[in-house]
Amino acid sequence: MFDALSARLSQGYRTGAFPPAQPNLPEHFAGRPVVSKDVDVESLQPICPTGALCRDCAGASAIDTGKCIFCGKCAEVCKGISFKKEYRMGAMHREALLATDAEYHPEEQLDRGIARLYGKSFKIRQVSAGGCAACELDFNVLNTLAWDMGRFGIQAVASPRHADAILVTGPVSDNMLLALKKTYEAMPKPCLVIASGTCAISGGIYATSPQVNAPLDGILPVDLYVPGCPPHPAVLLEALLRLIAIRK
């Protein structure tokens, strides 16, 4: 016991200053992309493994970050595409995941009732619906001392009956479809649904598999989309705080 106390005292305070300080992102971090309007996305489509290169409703060249696995292959062959350090990529509407060259402002939570319901206590039941474990591991990181999402009242719970939200990772395989639906049905309502990672949002590299049921919003009503393969802990935590309207 004394050894543990001594080690804790010598280590000091280990939780990062994010937020409000900027996160300490790795040098190779690929955030929200910027796509120049003159990029011929049609000619680049064979390069993208998930078909993320597209056009928005106005016809502008875009990358669908809900499909993108952030491999950077398109940026390697096209100077008009670059991946920035913008980590505030979570969105509450699917169309907001389309990245162009327009000035970007993250979506704000406009429902004031969300903050009243979840602003001081937000319980999450995580479901791995056929994922590779990368998204699951980066969500688990938020429970460590370095990130400590519990300081915002955010906690992971074992039972869906104790949860305010369900956080789904993976492309929703056939074997997990029923379990996912039962988990959602067991949750007290109202509840929120979070699609974490490209696989949950669109199916990712598994989208064309006959054993996959993605996108998640075709199964459950999604309230938050968090792109990434996997989403960096800073991307996920920032998106969660914005979803429940916590300002730090």
Per-residue pLDDT tens digits for 78-111: 999 999 999 999 999 999 999 999 999 999 999 9
Q: Which CATH architecture has domain 33-87+95-99?
A: 2-Layer Sandwich (3.30)
Identify the CA nearest to 180 among candidates 239, 122, 129, 110.
129
The yes-or-no verdict on residue 166 having pLDDT over 70 is: yes
* 53-91 exposure pattern, b = at least 16 Cβ within 10 A, e = fewer: bbeeeeebbbbbbbbbbbbeebbeebebbebeeebbbbb
Give the Å distances, CA to CA, from 154 to 60, 147, 165. 38, 11, 10
- What does the pLDDT read at residue 248? 60
* Confidence category of residue 76, pLDDT binned at 50, 70, 90: very high
Residue given tokens 């875009």 in the structure block:
62
Six token digits for residue 90? 């979570």
CATH 3.40.50.12280 domain range(s) in the chain: 112-243
Q: What's the rounded Cα separation, in Å, for the pair 201 and 218?
A: 10
Instruction: Give residue 69's identity as a one-letter amino acid code.
Output: I
Strands ordered across the beta sheet of 61-64: 53-55, 61-64, 98-99
Mean pLDDT of all residues in 154-178: 98
- What does the pLDDT read at residue 217? 98
Percent of the chain with pLDDT strictly greater than 70:
97
- What does the pLDDT read at residue 112? 86
- What does the pLDDT read at residue 142? 97
Residue given tokens 């990672």 in the structure block:
197
State the pairing for strand pair 224-226/192-196: parallel
pTM: 0.94
- What does the pLDDT read at residue 14? 73
CATH 3.30.70 domain range(s) in the chain: 33-87+95-99
- What does the pLDDT read at residue 5? 75
CATH placement of domain 112-243: 3.40.50.12280
Of the two residues 19 and 36, the one the predictor is more confident about is: 36
